[in-house]
Amino acid sequence: MAGCLGDDEEDDDITIGAIQPLSGPFSPWAEVHQAGLEFAVEEINEDGGVLGRDLVVESNDTGSDPTDADSFFREFVEQENAVAITGPVSSDVGIRTSDTAQELQTPMFLHMSGDDGVISDDRQFTFRIGLLPASNTMISQNQLIEARGYENVGAVVADYAWGRAIEAAIEEHVTADVQIEVAPVGADDFRGNLRNLDEDIELLLATGHPPGNFSIAAQAIDIGLQPDAVTGSGFPPGVIRSALGELSEEVFLHYHMSDYTSPEYVEVAEAFSEATGEPFHTHHSYGYVTGQVIATAIEEAGEASGPAIQETLQDIEVDTLYAEALSYANYGEPDGQVQIYSEFTSDPADYAPDEDWGLNEVFRSDPLPAAGN
Amino acid sequence: MDAIVSSQILQLDISTYLEVLVDGIAFGIFLALLGVGITLVFGLGEVLNLAIGMFAIVGLIVAQYVNGVFGLPIIATFVVGILAAGVLGVVVDRSLLSLVYRSDGEERILLGIFVTLGLAILLEGVLTNVFPSRYTLDLPYFVEQFSPFRPFGLQISLASVFVIGIGSAVLALIFAFLRGTFLGKVTRTVFQDETGARLIGVDPRRIRALVFVLSALVAGVAGIAYGTSATIEVERGFRFTIFALIVSIVGGVRSIEGTVLAGVMLGIVATFATFFIGAYLASVILFMTAVIAILIRPAVGE
């Protein structure tokens, strides 16, 4: 009887639970992440699956509500036997479900959720995929500042966890003189803050105010500030382009870990485009990489279980669509990852000919140490 | 805190004050447009339109959508956006408000609050799911070509200039309509004495419909104008409604002149407060100013 049950389990699909904000303000993130994840799973299954079993993605719409995210997490694990969960974008969902991941001993792969506190000694089952924490991001932006010789830098941060983390990281890691303005999360008029900055700022950091970073960029130009660049937050490039239009080509820098110029990325992007008719951009790749990482971890572990995946990921490197192979330290913190900064252009990539925009890499950071080191 | 603020104020030169003043007037004109939208409808039909902010959002989103999909000239997209808000106004008036106008007095006021609040929640839910991103509009070329705008060395926001220009023009048109046209005078008659208006053969229901659509169009203008200066998401609509209510109440919910003055005044106060003290305390100051204004204003138009 036990042998029969064991045989049935081996024939079962391996379930990945996707707790995505498919509705609400974070749905643009969820849509592209889900599409990338499903494409990765499809490819993996066509290649024979994992341990002879197919991967299956079950998803539910959290609306970015932490309570719903927690409920769906538990449902996927307890009823669908999910061995891994992915999807959180907002930090409050990330923090809540990090605790759930710890409790259920099921690894969770964040799409965004850059809050430093999502990974700790009490939250060992959470892994970052798409967004490095504030400290790493400011280390990389300091490298950009030093490389370009900027001496006069301004920043606008939001008065909430992420913004304050960016503020602290600026003070710790940025060597240039940075004037920091703090604005409420819900603000949409930043001209007062921007007028408090030096007229001659060379770089404007809007990374610390995700809800307002587009308004900050547009209003800075509107009142006559002329920074070389404005560093944005972790938005899908399609959203940036949609929000800023051609202004995105003037000053805005999109930062990401996906290396869209690599042959591997281009191959996946072309295949995705052919299969779906849609372009494959940086945040699609975060979903795709999530699928790669989970599959690789299961293969290396030799078993499809949450604890095995979590333990295996502490020791392996996974070749992905990023500039550097993905490995983890300090539980789920990426170690040695590179942040790439791209400007928008009017030349679409060959694999996205129907778009009226493209990206051009302007800076690549040095490999960044895992946060907490 | 006082020492810091005082020091800041003294260290700034006149140009900074003027720059912030322009931004304040622009914000005030935006508030005035929204407030007028509330005042027109409440003054005429005793319906407090708590969906006014969503009409502004509809105007902005439709304009941005049309611009993105069809690539029309920006002015054309503005017109389409404003008309979309107007069409929504017609639909709402013919459907939901017809129910509301069947009652009167306190019952109508309460019903109007619930109906328009429900409409606002419905619109926000639907629009957030269909348009979940952030939206902004380019300035028309004939404005943008002056960028960067530095008259007499001042750093003036072109978007603020645009909001002031278009908002003032619309408000002027409203006043011209109410004072200079037959229909406008009929509207004012219904405003002042509905019974008397009926006696001379005016159908108040038709006038209310006209004014509701007018308020929707004005809200559309407000949304589009504001969208040239900031990147807006759908959720902002409720905040717009709050602003509109504050301005309308401070100005006197039946006084369009008062509403306009209140809007401009509160816009300037809020902008200076944000600049010198910060946005959180600026909100407190905005409410304090509103309370003081209500306490000391003369009884106008009530």
What would the pLDDT profile of B246-282 be if each residue is shown by its tens digit? 999 999 888 899 999 999 999 999 999 888 887 778 8
Across the interface, do A224 and B279 touch by the CB < 8 Å criterion? no
| pLDDT tens string A254-313 | 999 999 999 999 999 999 999 999 999 999 999 999 999 999 999 999 999 999 999 999
- Is there a contact between A163 and A182 (Cβ–Cβ < 8 Å)? yes
Report phi then psi at A254, rounded to 5: -95, 125
Q: Note whether B81 and B62 are within 8 A (CB).
A: yes
8 Å CB contact between B37 and B218: yes
Q: How many whole angstroms separate alpha carbon B154 and alpha carbon B152?
A: 6
Residue range B139-187, pLDDT digits in tens? 998 888 888 788 888 889 999 999 999 999 999 999 999 888 888 888 8
Say which residue, B16 or A75, is predicted with more confidence: A75
Whether the pLDDT of residue A10 is over 80: the answer is: no
pLDDT at B6 over 80: no
| Whether the predicted pLDDT of B244 surpasses 90 | yes
Which token pair is B109?
Answer: 């006021």
Task: List all residues 6 or more positions away from B40 whose beta carbon is below 8 Å from its beta carbon.
Answer: B211, B212, B214, B215, B218, B256
Nearest beta carbon to residue B231 from set A182, A218, A224: A218
Using a 10 angstrom Cβ sphere, with 0-12 exposed, 13-18 middle and 19 or more buried, the burial of residue A5 is: exposed
From CA B271, how far away is CA B25, in angstroms rounded? Answer: 9
In this predicted model, what pLDDT tens digit does every residue of B159-172 receive, in sequence order? 999 999 999 999 99
Quote the percentage of chain A above a pLDDT of 90.
82
Model pLDDT, residue B148: 79
Average pLDDT over residues B293-297: 83
d(CA B98, CA A10): 64
Residue A79 has pLDDT above 70, yes or no: yes
Any idea what DSSP says for residue B156?
Answer: B
The pair of structure tokens assigned to B144 is 């943008």
Report how far Cα B295 is from the mean position of its chain's Cα atoms. Answer: 23
**Residue B132 pLDDT class (50, 70, 90 cuts):** confident
Phi-psi label, residue B19: left if phi above 0, alpha if psi -120 to 50, beta otherwise: alpha
The answer to whether residue B301 scores a pLDDT higher than 90 is no
DSSP structure class, residue A210:
G
Residues of chain B with Cβ-Cβ distance to A23 below 8 Å are 128-129, 132
A184/B233 CB distance under 8 A = no
| pLDDT at site A3 | 37
CA distance A265 to A271: 10
Taking CB atoms and an 8 Å limit, are B279 and A184 in contact across chains? yes
Q: What is the pLDDT of residue B68?
A: 84
CA distance A342 to A363: 7
User: Residues with Cβ < 8 Å from A11, sequence gap 6 or more?
Assistant: A53
Amino acid identity, residue B218?
V
Selected residue with higher pLDDT from A114 and A98? A98
| pLDDT for B2 beyond 70 | no
Q: What is the pLDDT of residue B298?
A: 65
Residue A105 has which token pair? 């001993």
Q: Which residue of B27, B136, B242, B271 to mutate against A (max A Cβ within 10 Å)? A: B136
User: Hunting for tokens 């002031």 — which residue is that?
Assistant: B164
Q: What percent of chain B has pLDDT over 70?
A: 94
CB-based contacts of B211, cutoff 8 Å, min separation 6:
B40, B41, B44, B45, B187
Q: Does the pLDDT of residue A1 top 80, yes or no?
A: no
Look up the pTM and report it: 0.88
For residue range B196-222, what is the model confidence (pLDDT) as tens digits? 878 888 888 888 999 999 999 999 999
Torsion over CA: B194, B197, B203, B206 (sign): negative
Task: List strands edge to edge, sheet with A55-61.
Answer: A55-61, A14-20, A84-86, A108-110, A126-128
B66-69, long-range: CB < 8 A, 24+ apart: B67/B137, B67/B138, B68/A242
| Whether B36 contacts B199, CB under 8 Å | no
Q: What angle do CA B48, B51, B56 make, to 5 degrees?
A: 125
Task: Please give the pLDDT value at position B202.
Answer: 81
State how far the alpha carbon of B192 is from the alpha carbons of A193, A348, B302, in Å.
45, 61, 9
Residue B46: name the closest of B116, B120, B108 by CA.
B108
Mutate to test the interface with B, among A64, A222, A226, A355 (most CBs of B within 10 A): A222
pLDDT, residue B45, reads: 84
Checking if the pLDDT of A33 tops 80, the result is yes
Predicted confidence band at B10 (pLDDT cuts at 50, 70, 90)?
Answer: low
Position A102 scores a pLDDT of: 97
CA atoms of A231 and A109, how far apart (whole Å): 25
Give the residue-averaged pLDDT of A107-124.
Answer: 91
pLDDT given for residue B300 in this prediction: 47
Beta bridge partners of B63: none
Q: Which residue of A has its CA nearest to B23?
A: A191
The position carrying tokens 């969960």 is A85
**Shortest Cα distance, chain A CAs vs residue B87, angstroms:** 25
Interface pTM, i.e. ipTM: 0.84
Inter-chain touch B132–A187, beta carbons under 8 Å = no
Do β-strands A252-256 and A229-231 pair in parallel, antiparallel, or remain unpaired? parallel
Which pLDDT belongs to residue B69? 85
Beta bridge partners of A75: none
